[in-house]
Chains A and B, each alone.
Chain A
Amino acid sequence: MSDIDIEQYKITEEPFYEVQEDEVALYEAAYDARLPVMIKGPTGCGKSRFIEHMAYKLGKPLITVACNEDMTASDLVGRYLLDANGTRWLDGPLTTAARIGAICYLDEIVEARQDTTVVIHPLTDHRRTLPLDKKGELIEAHPDFQLVISYNPGYQSLMKDLKQSTKQRFTGLDFDYPDSKVETAIVAKEASIDEEVAGRLVKIAHTARHLKGHGLDEGISTRLLVYAATLMNKGIEAKRACHMALVNPITDDKDIRSTLIHSIDTIFG
């Protein structure tokens, strides 16, 4: 299996990431010891960007798997395929990562069913192995291999939670939307927009975040703010851009829409 092109998993350009606190140092320490890391936080607050940033910084390949509920264990570890000559084994992304020593990032892990998630267990403790029982092979993880999962504790239902036995195999980093100053800087830089305008966008986001749990499942994310700013860069008038990027996607609730539109109106004057 040496014909895997490692380079394709490498991140070549530095992704923009604004450090919030000490998360970089914490992550580096965890990577140094190859401890598995779990990243929690609301959607669009920069979890994936952070991992990309770290993979770039450490110079390691990154394999990202977006989890969904139809995903099975074979989708992670690999399966036999039929071909003209019989059958052929195909590695799944987790197996590939373990072989080449990549950072394997399982995005939104709780979306996967619980019986799927247990396959990562042997990779996450002292064994650092991955048994491929169908193939009859036991893979020793590459020394550089690290497993990172992310999940959003906010919107999932009670049914979708990680098992304790899974949770307790990870170290955790708690992410939240950055504080207004940092978030303003992020929006300004990412969408190359005026700091002042970015500040107003952040203020709108804050009004929406206060409504979380009162009709909104999730507040306006940093990602949406960047979208709004990008639209404004394209010459769209501020309020219209906000309606398109900040109001329409997140809710259909009439009252919430009215409240958000009012706050956009008062903040953009």
Chain B
Amino acid sequence: MTTEVTTEYPHHRKQLKCSFEQIEDCFDDYMKDALRNLSNDGVSQYLSGASLVCMIGRGWEPVSIYLEEMPQMAKRVGEPILEIVSKHVWDMSRSPNGKAIPPFMQCLPEASRRLGTLEQMQHFFDILFDMLDKTTTSVHGHHKTHSSQGFLVLLNQIPYLLSQLSLEGLKNWIEYGVRNYSDHPERQKDYFSIQSADAKAMLQRERHGTLYMDNERKLDMYMRSMWQAEEYFVPYSLGFDELRKPQPYYDELGMRVPDVYDDLKGVRGINRYRLTLAHMAAHKRWTERQVADNLSPFQRIAVEAFEDSRIEQLIIREYPGLKKYFLALHPAPIEGDCESEKESCVRHRLAMFSRAVLDENHGYQNPDILEYLEKFQDALQDGESSTKEMLNLAVSFTAKTRRQSDLLPRVRFENTEIDYRDDNRHMWLFIEESDEPEDDTSEPQSSETVEPEGLPPRHYHEWDYNTTSFKPDWVTLYESLHAPGNASVIDSILEKHSALANYLKRILDLLKPQQYTRVRYQEDGSELDLDIAIRSLIDFKSGSQPDPRINMSHEHSGRDFAVLLLMDLSASLNDVPDGCTQSILELSREAVTLLGWSIEQLGDKFAIAGFHSDTRHNVRYHHIKGFSEHWDDSVKARLAALEPGFSTRMGAAVRHASHYLEGQKADKKLLLILTDGEPADIDVSDDKLLIEDTHKAVDELSSKGIHTHCITLDKKADDYIQDIFGPGGYSVIDHVEKLPEKLPLLFTALTS
């Protein structure tokens, strides 16, 4: 040890029990920093904490991070952090997760900057170590033997995650990953490195700020009402492209806007959206395209800046109240901040000019800026001026203010970025083809994404009762027309059951005219309405004018039902139940045939669909009969060809069916589910999960005014069926062979 020789703080050096060689070079600097920022107690805690980190034997790196960052951090959030951090590091070194210590130390400074208080930091540690605890797996019982797979990658993502999520959001996001992937190391890694789709989806959901998705309609209305423009918006994500920093822009395909805006400098997210849109709308209204070929890149930047300023002035003329937002969001570059010998000040100059246009109290002294400010204001004095005029002004401004240093590779960006402005790509017209490589979009898209058949997949969320939350876009559902078979099969079924059909017909005839409704307040009507008549007589006796509309009449009100029958087509339909000669499928088909026929007689709106599933990635929804189709041969052919297979993931199918029912205009909407067993799928081991999810789906439907009724052929259904459909929401058919008879009767009972 050579401590006595080099350090100015021998007393402190003694307290630090650490013998890395590197320490001697910088110990004095660390100590200066520590003594400046910490109390005496803090300094000794700092040194003992560092000693502890030193003792864990993970090399120099964690120690150096500790020594370097902790004084600042302690100043920011309070000195107790010193001990907390060293304690956590110590704990980690005693677990299989020692490798995570350096990245853990590295993410701390950023975390403390974001979170700002000791309390928040405590929560943050709780979240992290809870996750660590749950993902560190043990092989034989009680010892934690395997290190956490997700923790390392998670730590690398922490700065980004914290920039996107509130602490609560972070907690939810992490817990979601732990819950779903705790026993799958590879997927866990994908999730915590934000690679997998649901990590992104979940992140999107937990993000803070004003989400585009929540405000689409408002923005649409904003454009319509204040700019008389009908625009198509395309949101882009700021989240996954740190380097390029996408900017808003517009082209023929629509206006690109960020998918989220935080509140910034007192301007609310929604108003930042409006400002961005106002800027683009103003370009659309006032900017004319200019030929770009004759201008240098610098000139172009200047023209863009002048034009942006011009249209902003025009916006403020139109809507003076927007000025306060412009002022708040526009950076205020400080004069003389840019050292023109060392860096390029082009952007800085233009930002100053732009600020000066906006802000009368800019206080800039630069004669060039002031001169051009005056010229600019003259140009806009009377009238709107024009892009052309701005172009000339900007070109001469560039010439006048050009500096040798403008060409320096180091450009000053600080305080020059104006984030509500778009990238002005619409302003320029290139006559000659540019020699800059452009991303070629004219290439015909390769046909790799051709879907074999049917509609594009739809995604549905699924309810997780363990956490009482939805897993976003969890289930993928494909809808297609069911392949047709031989329609005559269905006709022969009707013939076979002709006696039953006749019986049904008698009932249906009784059903057709539904109840009467009374129409009151008629001057002429079929009956005297006594209530009103007496009231009129009283009026008359008391000398005021009686109401002569003392009659009432009656009217039929028509049946107004929309019914969708959802058939479970899982593999178990092939079973032949005890004591039957036909399979469940054949019986169901007969039942549905009779039902379809009866409903056609009644004239209710009726659709039939079937579903089965093969894991959450492949739920098949077969279209058999649509609401607008009649009970004709093509429908019968599809019904005849029904083929069972796979499992019963009911929730997604129910949600999909409900979106069809929602589109129907009817007083009463009914979803009939015909099934032979409980919801289940091969990728779900917890029986209760899909039962709860289906229950949730049924709840969702009922909140949309759709009544759900399940007809189950499972004799043991009593265990679960009421949990899903609620009391009275289901019928259990004990004698499967009676189904063809029961189903239409059940339907008529339900709807009369």
Contact = CB atoms under 8 A, between A and B. Distances in A.
Interface of A: 70, 72, 74, 79, 81-82, 207-208, 210-211, 214-215, 255-256, 258-260, 262-263, 265-269
Contacts of B548: 72, 74, 79
A269 B320 contact: yes
A83 to B, nearest CB: 9
B129 interface: no
Contacts of B271: 262
Interface of B is mostly: helix
Contact of B225 (A70, A263, A268, A269): A263
B521 A211 contact: no
Nearest to A256: B221
A207 B226 contact: yes
Given A214-B221, A269-B321, A262 B540 contact: no
B723 to A, nearest CB: 36
B218 A214 contact: no
A263 B548 CA distance: 51
A74 B523 contact: yes
Given A214-B224, A258-B218, A259-B226, 5 more contacts: A255-B218, A258-B270, A263-B225, A265-B321, A266-B226
Contacts of A214: 220-221, 224
A259 B321 contact: no
Nearest to A84: B543
A260 B225 CA distance: 8
Contacts of A79: 548
Contacts of A72: 523, 548-549
Interface in B191-222: 215, 217-218, 220-222
B270 A263 contact: no
A134 B538 CA distance: 24
B324 to A, nearest CB: 8
A70 B521 CA distance: 8
Contacts, number: 60
A269 B323 contact: yes
A72 B226 CA distance: 44
Contacts of B549: 72
A22 B225 CA distance: 29
Size bin of chain B's contact surface: 20 to 34
A89 B450 CA distance: 80
Contacts of B660: none
Nearest to B217: A255
A162 B228 CA distance: 32
26 contacts: A72-B548, A72-B549, A82-B546, A210-B226, A210-B228, A211-B221, A211-B224, A214-B224, A215-B221, A255-B215, A258-B218, A259-B218, A259-B225, A262-B222, A262-B274, A263-B226, A265-B321, A266-B226, A266-B319, A267-B319, A267-B320, A267-B321, A268-B320, A268-B321, A269-B321, A269-B323
A120 B271 CA distance: 54
B320 A210 contact: no
Contacts of A265: 321
Contact of A82 (B270, B323, B540): B540
A267 B521 CA distance: 50
Given A210-B224, A214-B224, A81 B321 contact: no
A211 B321 contact: no
Contacts of B320: 266-269
Contacts of A74: 523, 548
Interface in B293-323: 319-323
B358 to A, nearest CB: 15
B655 to A, nearest CB: 25
A262 B215 CA distance: 14
Contacts of A82: 540, 546
A199 to B, nearest CB: 12
Nearest to B521: A70
